[in-house]
Amino acid sequence: MTKFIIGLGFILTIFTAFSQNFKYFETKRDYIYNALYIDSIGDTITNETLIIRIPDKRWIFQPWKQKSLIYIYETDIKGYKNYIDPNAIYQEMNEDYFKKHGEFRLVQKSTSGGLVSKRNGYFYMHPPRQNQYSMLFNAAHPIFVYSALENKNDTLSVTNQKVYGKGYFKQEYIYESIGNDKFLGDSITIYQVKVSSDLISKKKYVLEEVDFYSSTLEALFCMEYGFIKMHYKFKSGVRIEFDLVEVVEND
């Protein structure tokens, strides 16, 4: 099992090999994903484009640690009309906003952060969490550990993601090299990432919300493009899926 504190020499050996080839935050690119929101009964509500833009800048909230990710949402307005937020409070806010302004309360662009950690040996990024993707505030972050490159199979346990006033998440990551394939014209080595995420709480009322907080992530990662697939599924049945379809240099 991979831990965040392992031998320094081992970390540096793996990181050196990794960093020579993995320049995710140093390469100005637009990663263009097909994005789906599928409701709890299996209906596809929105089918749209999400762009993750890498500006090669520091993230304003943690400039000493994280680099910026810009999320550009090309919202499927026609489909969004049928979207019902799983959080009743947010749904009421959305309805009130539409009544007052005659349009949806949507974010077109947001900025978050990610990092390549030399010290702890992993690549990490925030998932998109605006508009119909707000449930991802309570889901596993995409993380790839460098030791998976060496071991081909690896695991990671995360328990430091807290939900204020409710508890913390217990998240188990499983990594597996699944071989080589062609993607966007390149021959790539693909790593499968499977994650289970469950809220641990001592508060009884939280048990009524388990469908909202318990989820899984099935993802694919490669050195050339980072995460090329991120498929989330919540216990409620809601699915949020991102599949990389194009990469464009943004210089």
Higher pLDDT, 250 or 59: 59
- Concatenating the DSSP letter of every residue in 123-171 gives EEEPPP-SGGGGGGGGSPPPEEETHHHHHSEEEEEE---EETTTEEEEE
| Residues 6, 121 contacting (CB under 8 angstroms) | yes
Closest residue by Cα to residue 131 from 164, 78, 91, 88: 91
User: Domain-by-domain residue ranges, the chain?
Assistant: 9-249
The answer to whether the predicted template modeling score (pTM) of the entire model surpasses 0.85 is yes
Helix spans in 22-121 (H): 77-80, 88-101
Asked whether residue 1 carries a pLDDT value surpassing 50, the answer given is no
Whole-angstrom Cα distance, residue 155 to residue 144?
10
Closest residue by Cα to residue 172 from 230, 129, 215, 211: 215
Mean pLDDT, residues 233-244 taken together: 97
Phi, psi of 129 (to 5 degrees): -140, 25
Helix spans in 4-118 (H): 8-21, 77-80, 88-101
| The one-letter amino acid at 84 | I
What percentage of the chain reaches a pLDDT higher than 90? 73
| The one-letter amino acid at 86 | P
| Residues 113, 168 contacting (CB under 8 angstroms) | no
Whole-angstrom Cα distance, residue 104 to residue 174?
38
Exposure string for 177-195, b = 16+ CB within 10 A, e = fewer: eeeeeebeeeebebbbbeb
Asked whether residue 131 carries a pLDDT value surpassing 80, the answer given is yes
- 149-163 tens-digit pLDDT: 888 889 999 988 888
pLDDT value at position 236? 93
| Residues 143, 173 contacting (CB under 8 angstroms) | yes
Asked: is 9-249 a CATH 2.40.360 domain? The reply is yes
Q: How long is the chain?
A: 251
pLDDT value at position 19? 54
Asked whether residue 165 carries a pLDDT value surpassing 70, the answer given is yes
